[in-house]
Structure 1
Amino acid sequence: MSDIRAYELDSPTTGEAGFGDFIALLKPRVMSLVVFTALVGLLVAPSPVHPFVAFASVLFISLGAGASGALNMWWDADIDAVMRRTAKRPIPAGRVAPGEALGLGLALSGISVVMLGLAANLFAAGLLAFTIFFYAVIYSMWLKRSTPQNIVIGGAAGAFPPMIGWACATGGVSIESILMFALIFMWTPPHFWSLALFMKDDYSNADVPMLTVTHGRKATRAHILVYTIALVPVALATGFTSIGGPVYLAVSAVLNAGFLVGAWAIWRRDEETAQADKYAVEKKVFRFSLYYLFLHFAALLIEAVLHANGFGGW
């Protein structure tokens, strides 16, 4: 907490914060993925949900994700200021005071949890509250600055949205929602480590113990391959549940083959080659990983439509 207090004292704002700056605090890019995966989790669930309840549920889940983003930016303001990728965020750029971000994050946390409980059910609201706590406290305040396993364990925060969506519809969890969680959980490390390979100086300058900093790029490349191999059966297993089917399995097989090829290519590269082409392969795999997750959940959505019309499934 001392770093944050020092940052608050040493970083006066310009007083020029606009609406867009407060939106930026919510991490809209991350929020878009949360909204999509939560919506899919809700729509593929076996229990039908009234359209208004579904809309309200996804809205409050997105607000909870935004709350997590604001709390993360408040806590990480000191390290954001020394990382090129984050230096222009509203707090380190001096457009928003840290206290304003904290207030926004806490307010949205309370609103999102209470309103989700009223719109859907208390179990879903509790799961959302735990997700916000996990991202803001367990990941941001503890794991991120203390262990190279920060992304591995902290990835759970980003994996909860489809479980919350499923819980909004069913009031509980199931093997299907657990596998959707596991898909994102296992995807997160190779996704972020491929980014870290060409962003190492940022994490090193900010004293964040990313795997590339603590164990080096060679070890990180090996970890990417191992986690990608472990991801494949998790992704394919979802296709054999009630929410899967031949369409999902075909899409998943192609995507996992592509991800494995990319992870293998990363593992085989040395630093001299990577630096010579400015980490072109690593950047390509990182971009592919974004499509990988989106298309898996899009395939689940297609299966849900087919199931509803008497097609697909097993």
Structure 2
Amino acid sequence: MSTALCLAPNVKSLLGSTARGFSSNAPVSSGDRETLDRWIAHIQGLTVVEQDEITRSAAQLLATTLYPSAPSAPAWDSVPVGSELPPAYHLVCFPPREPECRLASDGYDTSFTPPAPYLKRMWAGGSFEWNLENPLRIGDRVSQTTKVDRIQVKPGAQGDLRVFVWMKKDIANEAGPSMQEVRCLVYMDARSRVSDPGRVLKGQFPSSTRPNFSRQIKPTALTLFRYSALTFNSHLIHYDPDYCRAEEGYPERLVHGPLTCTLLLDLLHKRLAETQGIQHRRPFLRSFEYRALSPLYCGQDLHLHGRVLDREPATAGEMRYELWATNAQGGLAMKGTAVVTERDA
């Protein structure tokens, strides 16, 4: 599989061609271009295959983490092996297994990290597509095959270049393919900092859409620690406030992008569980595509919302839902669209 290097408008190609209108505030030296070319040539042939097992214990711990103010843990002891895994619960599988000495200085896994100076990273978004004929289940032995899908280079707000790495993850159980995830991470100059923390705190994308269903949660330091532990995520940005302020320029620790995504899908999953299908058929998630738009912070209210969009005109039996998360000031932090279809219960 070849890896495509996609270039946004007004960006100079890192493979040699030149686009008109390239910003002089984000120069790319010939040395940097050659370094990136070598890195691209390396990762376009990189395939990572991992094995894991979906356990009831890990699922229960994640469910407990998603509801920090619940007086008791979810009753997973009675959930039998073979039960379908809730959406996005697979994210606690296939944790990074790199030894500490091979992690980046901020604690992050470096398997798909570009060369310096593009060493700071954020979760930018992605998508999930589920195989409804072969869903992941508690007790499954599973494999994940990861390849780079494409690379995109864009200028940042301050004229610096940002490298977007899109990874395609095919997940299968003993019966065959179960789902595909596409994950996008954005890598920035290690010397960059948030220029206006107050603006980021308020959120640059105000949301005024009226939801059909909602939930509020306040992620604490313990919430973030528990999710980091479950996913073996040692990124300092989620648990070291001094690092966040001194090195990244954020006022507080950041909520994990995949945690916000999981909370949104959990909101919809609970809503669908209450929905009656037609003639013993039930609604199930078929796909979800989302973008992370601005940070969410530890200790601040996080609002989760959902609403029904119009029926897909070309596909009978499908519904689209819009899901979004806002910060304490009402700014839009994450937004996505889910496609739900009906099948036999």
| TM-score when normalising by structure 2 | 0.25
Kindly indicate which of the two structures has a greater share of residues assigned to helix: 1
Kindly indicate which of the two structures has a greater share of residues assigned to strand: 2
| TM-score when normalising by structure 1 | 0.27
